[in-house]
Structure formats: structure tokens, C-alpha cells
Amino acid sequence: MQFDGDALTIGLDMSMEEIREFEQFVRPRLEYLETIEAEEGALLHSSALLALLVSLKRTRSALKIPFLERGLMASETYGTVHWMYHD
């Protein structure tokens, strides 16, 4: 995780413990964040992280989460994975 001013870059391969720590870190700082980016080439390992990102976006609609808003991820193992997200 890299915090740079108003942008946060995260890995998508977090364990459940890391997701809990990420949530504890980000919730108090949510009003100061403009963007949460995924590391380049990162693969989602847990639907819990996806659910947390959706929750953060719904809590603060101005927050930009390009990974979430794209609605897809390419994986060598699973091919292209799609999800539906709307504000």
C-alpha cells in the first residue's frame, strides 16, 4: 500500500487480515482521499476486498476507484472476469 497525498495505491492480493488492516487505515482518512488505485497488473484474490471497495465508494461517492469502475480484470488463470457496479 502506498499513500501519496490524496491518492492511495493498493495491491489486490490482500489476505483477510490485510483487508481488515486496510479498512481500519482507510476509513478514518476517507474524506481526504480522492483516488484508490490498484497496483499495475494486480489480481483480485478476495471478494471481501471488492465488497469493501464498493462500501467505501458508497460511503463517499466522490471517491474515484478506477479498478472498481472499470468492472473487469484480466487473469491468466480465469481469463477476463467481469462484475457490475453502478453508483
pLDDT digits (tens, 9 = 90+) for 20-73: 999 999 999 999 999 999 888 777 788 899 899 999 999 999 999 988 887 777
Burial of 39 (0-12, 13-18, 19+ CB in 10 A): middle
C-alpha distances in Å from residue 32, one per residue of 11, 27, 35: 20, 10, 9
- What pLDDT sits at residue 2? 77
Q: Give the per-residue pLDDT at 45.
A: 81
Output the pTM of the full model.
0.83
